[in-house]
Chain A
Amino acid sequence: DVKVTQSSRYLVKRTGEKVFLECVQDMDHENMFWYRQDPGLGLRLIYFSYDVKMKEKGDIPEGYSVSREKKERFSLILESASTNQTSMYLCASSLLLAGVGEQFFGPGTRLTVL
């Protein structure tokens, strides 16, 4: 079975801190994604990557950066966390198949910024 793991289920940080969210997948998938999920707004794509060292902005990249140094690992970085970044963060991965590749999601990290 494909497994997507995220470094923490719950995280509490202070405003201004640098925050790293880590995601690892074990199925050699080319694509990896970071979403955030908020009540009433649904899931929104922050960044995605289709290869090592490649990244593409999603719909809401402001305030975030990403790193993909190895194929299996995709990191989301909040350079200076703010309270409006309190959210559920979901990582996903998929094969590079146009239009049809199933995305596999991790369990999510609930981040609270105080």
Chain B
Amino acid sequence: DAKTTQPNSMESNEEEPVHLPCNHSTISGTDYIHWYRQLPSQGPEYVIHGLTSNVNNRMASLAIAEDRKSSTLILHRATLRDAAVYYCILRDSRGQGAQKLVFGQGTRLTINP
């Protein structure tokens, strides 16, 4: 599985945008980029995913570099409820392995009031 690299922790202020980076220099052409987050005392939850183009949904935006070797999860206006560990995961679209998620250590995001 291709690996991702994320900062261990980040801090931001409430109501400000947050940009969470992820490096994935060994990404293959068939890998999707997925983001999940885990709030305290809960299971992970899906945030967003993309392949080549930038993506937006109600939770966040995903900006993917043109060479696909990095991506950024953008929370447009952070709230205290966004404090969580954010995981960037590459997911192969081929074969049975396509069903799996391989979690790294993620980025622990702290939001200051």
Identify which of residues 12-64 in chain A touch chain B, using a CB-to-CB cut-off of 8 Å.
Answer: 31, 33, 35, 42-45, 48, 50, 56, 58-59
Of the candidates B30, B44, B102, B106, which one forms a contact with A99 in the assembled complex, judged by CB atoms under 8 Å apart? Answer: B30
The chain A residue sitting closest to B99, CB to CB, is A31
Q: Decide if B102 touches A45 in the complex (CB within 8 Å).
A: yes
Residues of B within 8 A of A102 (CB): 46, 49
Which of B43, B93, B98, B104 lies at the interface centre, i.e. has the most chain A CB atoms within 10 A of its CB? B43
Instruction: Answer yes or no: A74 CB below 8 A from chain B CBs.
Output: no
Residues of B within 8 A of A4 (CB): 43
A56 and B91 alpha carbons, distance in the complex (Å): 17
Q: Smallest distance from the beta carbon of B28 to chain A beta carbons, Å? A: 11
- Do B32 and A100 touch (CB < 8 A)? yes
Bits for A85-114, please: 1 = Cβ < 8 Å to B, else 0: 000001010101011111111111000000
User: Are A56 and B96 neighbours in the complex by a CB distance under 8 Å?
Assistant: yes
- Beta-carbon contact of B43 and A99 below 8 Å: no
A94 proximity list for chain B (CB < 8 A): 99
The reply on B65 being an interface residue by CB < 8 A is no
* Cβ-defined contact, A103 with B93, below 8 A: no
Pairwise interchain contact B103-A42, C-beta atoms closer than 8 A = yes
Q: Are B43 and A107 in contact (CB under 8 A)?
A: yes
Interface pair B100/A45, CB less than 8 Å apart? yes
Asked if B10 CB lies within 8 Å of chain A CBs, one says no
A99 touches B96 (CB 8 A): no
A31 vs B91: C-alpha distance when bound (angstroms): 15
* 20 examples of A-B residue contacts, CB within 8 angstroms: A31-B99, A42-B104, A42-B106, A43-B44, A43-B103, A45-B100, A45-B101, A56-B96, A58-B100, A90-B43, A94-B99, A96-B99, A98-B94, A98-B99, A100-B32, A102-B46, A103-B46, A103-B101, A105-B43, A108-B42
Q: Which residues of A contact B (CB under 8 A)?
A: 4, 31, 33, 35, 42-45, 48, 50, 56, 58-59, 90, 92, 94, 96, 98-108
